[in-house]
Amino acid sequence: MRKSIAESITSAVKDLNKSGLVDKITMKNIHNLCLPEVKEYPPAKIVSLRKKFKLSQAALANIFNISPSTVQKWERGNKKPTGASKKLLEIIERKGIEALI
């Protein structure tokens, strides 16, 4: 449901921009507000992604510029990825590891 609402709003703002009623800055701000939320990554999903791309915990940590112990804590469920780390996991899932290296 959220996706269809966001698409409707973005489409309407694009039309308003084309007709000159909304400037590019406003259009960009509306688009950024309609970005989907980044989902949570449970431990099993992190392990699965890491293994899919044949990465060690240290290699994944290096790509994310974090410590290997942080990756270990994610995979044990002692800590959850937040902020940029969640977004990077989402990018890897969607576009592959090549998007980050």
- Beta strands (DSSP E) in 1-97 are none
The residue with tokens 């973005």 is: 10
Please indicate, yes or no, whether residues 28 and 48 belong to a single structural domain of this protein. Answer: no
The CATH code of the domain that includes 80 is 1.10.260.40
Joined together, the tokens standing for residue 63 give: 């790509």
Please indicate, yes or no, whether residues 62 and 85 belong to a single structural domain of this protein. Answer: yes
The residue segments making up the domain with residue 14 are 2-33
Return per-residue pLDDT of the chain as tens, 101 residues: 455 777 787 788 888 888 888 888 888 888 777 767 778 999 999 999 999 999 999 999 999 999 999 999 999 999 999 989 999 999 999 899 998 88
Which residues have a Cβ under 8 Å from the Cβ of 93 and sit 6 or more positions away?
49
The residue with tokens 């309609």 is: 34
Nearest to 14 by CA among 5, 2, 27, 3: 27
